[in-house]
Amino acid sequence: MTARADSKVNILLVDDQVHNLIALEAVLGDLNQNLVRAHSGREALRRLRGDDFAVIILDVRMPGLDGVDTATLIRRMERSKNKPILFVTALEPPPMQEFQAYAAGAVDYLLKPFRAEVLRSKVKVFVDLSLKSEQIREQAERLRLLELREQERKINELDGFASTVAHDLRAPLRSMAAFSEALLLEHATSLDPTGQDYARRIHESAKRMDRFIQDLLAYCRLSREEFVLESVDLDAMIREILAQMSPELLERRACVNLAEPLPRVRGHRILLTQILTNLLSNAIKFIVPGTEPRIRVRSERSGDAVRIWFEDNGIGIAAEHHERIFRIFERLNLPERYPGTGIGLAIVRRAVERLHGRAGVESEPGKGSRFWISLKRVEDAHETDRLHHAVGRG
Ligand code: ADP
């Protein structure tokens, strides 16, 4: 039903007698709405399946499906379950039938001959109500779209700004890193130990800043780029990532246990690589010094989704920080002990959202953490075709 203030609503008139339908049309014609005829209960149900109606006027006595049975079926249909039904009948109904009619969802029960203006004003109430509620629905939808557009504009503006700044910052930073390194490598003899220490600090700061900008750029790209979803073999992917991380794993004497093969998911290779790498790096990093990291990765199916768990034996996180850590730049620990940029988990959350999934954590201080992501599972192991689903922005 279109619903501007000047639009019309549909009114369904159900009667097996054509002269009754004509009489109803004569009474309701003044309302200037679309009057739709149905000559039986079955035809009424068919029409209700195809269109929206503001009100239904239903004859009680009809061959085949009578009015009460028709009303019962109307109430069972999702599209018409709340539509007002006015019963009209020529015969004084037995009390039981009237009771059944109300039980089947009647809002009124009119006996013929009825006064034309009574029927007209009763129907008009429902017409006005229908027009008003449609207007309210449209206004709410317009507001929602405006808010969404505004939000998207702000995010794009901010991300555009951040990536321009980040690009412009990287060039001078690279010079700082290169010249401080040259100072240390080629002119170390002309610097006293304090001078060498200063040059080393400049070099490390420049490197740290560069890593920070790279993370920020990766985060910005996540909201602006279009990603086409495909079927990804998560098991093969995590093995590749672990192979790449093996120097770091060896150095920290970390052990990663893959409980069982991970399933195929609907995803995107770049996004999933970022997600898995960040979660695994954190699981290795946030550990009490001197402890060997023990990480278990397992999956848990639920319907057409799968939840992948990353369980570690690290320092853990207090419940009040479980949401906060997924926000950009939020860090809980001293940078000297646990260096980082505070962007990793923000990337995880945003990347997972671009895959229409979710991410979260269960943890307690001193008892390790269990980070999880949930994604859509791809049933067919051989399905490697692209799924042609562009991931929405933001
Ligand atoms: P970064 O690792 O660069 O500090 P992240 O966004 O990846 O930033 O993580 C945010 C914060 O969440 C971290 O600084 C740390 O305090 C906490 N955190 C993340 N992963 C873990 C983990 N596996 N165990 C304990 N704390 C964690």
Instruction: Report d(CA 115, CA 134) in Å as an integer.
Output: 29
State the Cα–Cα distance between residues 176 and 206, nearest whole angstrom: 6
Whether domain 227-392 has CATH 3.30.565.10: yes
pLDDT at residue 389 greater than cutoff 50: no
- Which of 112-121, 133-142, 173-182, 320-329 is predicted with the least confidence, judged by mean pLDDT? 112-121
Task: Flag whether pLDDT at 306 surpasses 70.
Answer: yes
Q: Give the list of residues 6+ apart from residue 38 with CB closer than 8 angstroms, or none.
A: 12, 13, 14, 44, 46, 47
**Does residue 100 line the site of ligand 1, with CB under 6 A?**
no
Q: Which atom of ligand 1 is nearest to the CA of 278?
A: 7
The one-character DSSP state at 320 is: G
How many CB atoms lie under 10 A from the CB of residue 371?
A: 25
Instruction: Give me ligand 1 centre to Cα 139, in Å.
Output: 43
Residue 339, φ and ψ in degrees, nearest 5: -65, 150
Percent pLDDT > 90 in the chain is 64
CB contact at 8 A, 55 and 25: no
In sequence order, which ranges of 37-115 are alpha helices (DSSP H)? 41-50, 67-76, 95-103
Whole-number Å distance, alpha carbon 219 to ligand 1 midpoint, is 16
pLDDT in tens, 79-102: 888 899 999 887 766 666 777 777
Q: Could you write out the DSSP letters of every residue in 172-237? A: HHHHHHHHHHHHHHHSGGGS-HHHHHHHHHHHHHHHHHHHHHHHHHHHHHHHHS--EEEEEEHHHH
Pocket-testing residue among 286, 287, 321, ligand 1, by greatest number of atoms within 8 A of Cβ? 286
Residue 85: strand pairing partners: 56, 106
For the Cβ of 333 lying below 6 angstroms from any atom of ligand 1, the answer is: yes
What atom in ligand 1 is closest to the CA of residue 347? 6
Q: What is the CATH number of domain 10-114?
A: 3.40.50.2300
From ligand 1's centre to the CA of 313, what distance in Å?
A: 14
Q: From CA 15, how far away is CA 43, in angstroms rounded?
A: 10
Average pLDDT rounded to a whole number, residues 330-338: 83
Burial of 386 (0-12, 13-18, 19+ CB in 10 A): exposed
| pTM of this structure | 0.61
pLDDT on residue 93: 64
For 176-180, what is the mean pLDDT? 93
275-296: string of b/e by CB count within 10 Å (b at 16+)?
A: bbbbbbebbbbbbeeeeebbbb
- Rounded to 10°, the helix 67-76/95-103 angle is 20
Cα 78 from Cα 57, distance rounded (Å): 19
Instruction: Determine the pLDDT at residue 95.
Output: 64
The half-sphere exposure of 285 on its side-chain side, counting CA atoms within 13 A, is 18
Name the residue of 214, 215, 281, 325 whose CB sits within 8 Å of the most ligand 1 atoms, as the mutation to test its pocket. Answer: 325
- 378, 265 in Cβ contact below 8 A? yes
Q: Determine whether the shortest distance from the Cβ of 314 to ligand 1 is under 6 A.
A: yes
Report the 10 Å Cβ neighbour count for 392. Answer: 11
**pLDDT for position 126:** 92
pLDDT of residue 6: 59
340 lines ligand 1 (CB under 6 A): yes
